Amino acid sequence: MIHQNKGFMIRHTNYSESSKIITVLSENGALVPLMARGFNKPRSPFNSLKQGFNHSLYTYSRHRGMGTLTEVDVISQYNNINGDFDTYTVASFIVELINRITDEEIADPALYKLMYQAFKLLDDKNEKYSVLSFVIIKLFPKYGALLNVDQCVLCGSYNYENMNRYSFKYHGVLCNNHTNDEELERSVFVNSRSIYLAAFLKHVQIEHLNSINIDEADGKKLFKFVDMLFQEYTGEFFKTRKLLQI
């Protein structure tokens, strides 16, 4: 039976000298394993998959189990992502983050939607560290972690201008009304704008985020905050994280 699905290749492994097994995250959020015969040959019909990230239409035959890839038609080539090393590295980290949380048995359309929107934002030259932070924030629940940045964890204040610390004791942000040693125990300073941006990205719907208009300095501060919490609460290690210029 012939199938067609839009999607992203998120992993691949050599099967033989000339062939690979690739895994596609499809538009319905399912993982589709495909045999790509002749993938490694110079005149392979799948050469577009060797040219960096792209969003493509995959045509394959499949009855049960692994399918056989027959054709790839590129929809979006992502020239800006593939043409800049730092942006490509951020995109690689996003793929690793999503790849690790995918389940071969359970389709999750939100993961496809998240990757699609993140790559669109990156290719449109939105600030790359804020896009990466957006992805991490959306993945917090899927990694079994909570991001408590909506209000002061002690007094319930919603005034983000006054929020300037994160407490690992109380697992949430603190406003500057709390100054004694007991309240500040095991807390770290955080830029108030970073807290505000993290809360905004937490609640915005994925498909509604069409741009992120902040500069790189603010993007890096946001990422350092989000990354600190993600590492603390998930304990996950990612190879591509070490390649980021931050």
pLDDT of 189 above 90: yes
- pLDDT higher at 1 or 24: 24
Q: Are strands 172-175 and 163-167 parallel, antiparallel or unpaired?
A: antiparallel
Q: Per residue in 64-76, pLDDT tens?
A: 779 999 999 999 9
- Say what the pLDDT of residue 194 is: 98
- Extract the tokens encoding 88: 């490509």
Q: Per residue in 77-93, pLDDT tens?
A: 999 999 999 999 999 99
- Say what the pLDDT of residue 64 is: 76
Q: Can you tell me the distance from the alpha carbon of 48 to that of 74, in angstroms, rounded to the nearest whole number? A: 7
- Extract the tokens encoding 77: 């080539």
Q: Can you tell me the distance from the alpha carbon of 189 to that of 173, in angstroms, rounded to the nearest whole number? A: 10
Q: Are strands 67-76 and 31-36 parallel, antiparallel or unpaired?
A: parallel
Q: Can you tell me the distance from the alpha carbon of 139 to that of 108, in angstroms, rounded to the nearest whole number? A: 12
Q: Let me know: does 39 contact 46? Beta carbons within 8 Å.
A: yes
pLDDT band for position 21 (cuts 50, 70, 90): very high
- Say what the pLDDT of residue 152 is: 97
- Whole-prediction pTM: 0.94
